[in-house]
Amino acid sequence: MSATIEETATQDDILLRVRNLVQEYVSRGPGGVKAGVVHALSDVSFDLGAGRTLGVVGETGSGKSTLARAIIQADKPKSGQVTFRGRDIVGAGRRALRTARADIQMVYQDPFGSLNPRWRVADIVAEPLLGHARMSRTARRERVRELLDLVGLAPDVYLRRRPYELSGGQAQRVAIARAIALNPALIICDEAISSLDVLIQAQVLNLFEKLRTELGLSYVFIAHDLATVRQISDEVAVMHLGQLAEIGPAEELYAAPRHPYTKALLDSIPGLDPDTGIARRPIPLKGEPPSPLAPPSGCRFRTRCPLAQEKCAREAPVPTPQGSPGHLVACHFPLPVATP
Is 113 within 8 Å of 171 (Cβ atoms)?
A: no
pLDDT of residue 272: 66
Mean pLDDT by 10 residues, the chain (340 residues): 44 86 89 85 95 94 93 92 93 87 91 92 95 89 96 95 94 95 95 86 92 94 90 95 96 94 88 68 78 92 93 94 91 80
pLDDT of residue 217: 95
Q: What are phi and psi of 49, to 5 degrees?
A: -80, 155
Mark 223-247 as b/e (b = at least 16 C-beta within 10 Å): bbebebbbebbbbbbbbbbbbbbbb
Which residue type does 139 have? A
For residues 22 and 40, give the distance between their C-alpha atoms in angstroms, rounded to a whole number: 8
Question: What one-character-per-residue DSSP string does 83-148 give?
Answer: EETTEE-TT--HHHHHHHHHHEEEE-S-HHHHS-TTS-HHHHHHHHHHHH----HHHHHHHHHHHH
pLDDT of residue 10: 47
pLDDT of residue 274: 65
